[in-house]
Amino acid sequence: MFSPEAHTPHVSDASEADVREKVIEKSMTLPVLVDFRSARSPDSIELSKTLEALAAEYDGRFALVRVDIDRSPQVAMMFRIQAIPTVYLVDQGQPIDGFQGGLGESQIRQFLGRHIQAPERDPLEAAASAMAEGQFEVAAGYYRAVLADKPSHGEALLGMARVALSSGDAGAAGGWIDRIEDGDPAHDAGQRLRGMLAFGAYAGDPAALQARVAADAKDVEAWYALGATRALGGDYEGAFAAFLEVVGRDREYLEDGGRKALLSLFDLIGATDERVIKARRRLASLLF
């Protein structure tokens, strides 16, 4: 079961006893987003957290009503729920839209945007959220909006470089980085990110490189090449693991190349990403 949670003015729980009041009647004056969830579903737990954060951000533009199907199976039957998580948007007493599964924040925002006016949002924050979910084109749209007003905005230029690298376009990434002016707070991060552009010179056949490190775990050259290959292929967790091997085995290789490569990837993916947080902890344990 879900543990008790603090309610906000826009978030509440419903059961058989009050679902008509909280959903059907409430929807006559305000759109109601109904979150059918279960503690047995990890996707459901994560989705609920995202929906609750959005309800707070939208600040009364819709009401979020949570229904725990394990406690209120009759409500799930009433709405003919067949999968968890399921979300319905109810307006004027009728479900008008919905989705199943653990969608990411950007996709949920698109869903809400079809029916509810979104509040003003910092485009850089929106871009960072989209990047964390792998929604690179969405992120690029936010960054371009910033650059349309401020063509030399360092953080937006850095963001566009990250988008380009995520799609494997090192040339475009370098061009965006070149536009970040000296003295801009994003300049140093851009130079670290430039380290990603050099990965192509070290990348090779992943199977052959994996065989090399399996045969000789001390082969830091192969570990580095494997990290570069994985990074360019989008396997960032695998790249972290390989570059951490380089850091742990030979700090002198490529003048602390393993650590520099990790910092480049951290800048690419973003400091709040769980994969980055875990890799930073491992890196710190090796360095200190």
Query: In the 8-state DSSP scheme, what is residue 84?
Result: S
pLDDT at 3 over 70: no
Mean pLDDT of 37-66: 92
E strands along the chain, which residues?
11-13, 32-37, 63-68, 86-91, 94-100
pLDDT of residue 6: 45
The tens digit of pLDDT for each residue in 272-287 reads 889 999 999 999 999 9
The C-alpha atoms of residue 160 and residue 172 are separated, in whole angstroms, by 9
Query: In the 8-state DSSP scheme, what is residue 8?
Result: B
The tens digit of pLDDT for each residue in 54-113 reads 998 888 999 999 999 999 999 999 999 999 999 999 999 999 999 999 888 888 999 999
Dihedral sign computed on CA atoms, order 44, 50, 55, 61: negative
pLDDT of residue 130: 79
Average pLDDT, the chain: 90
Mean pLDDT of 126-134: 78
Question: What percentage of the chain reaches a pLDDT higher than 90?
Answer: 64
Higher pLDDT residue, 159 or 234?
A: 159
pLDDT of residue 210: 94
Q: With beta carbons less than 8 A apart as the criterion, state whether 38 and 44 touch.
A: yes
Ramachandran angles phi, psi of 65, nearest 5°? -120, 125
Q: With beta carbons less than 8 A apart as the criterion, state whether 185 and 260 touch.
A: no
Mean pLDDT of 181-188: 93
pLDDT of residue 4: 46
Least confident interval from 53-67, 132-146, 197-211, 215-229 = 132-146
User: Strands 11-13 and 63-68, how do they pair?
Assistant: parallel
Mean pLDDT of 113-134: 84
The one-letter amino acid at 41: S
pLDDT of residue 121: 80
Least confident interval from 15-19, 26-30, 195-199 = 195-199
Sorting pLDDT into bands at 50, 70 and 90, what band is 251?
very high
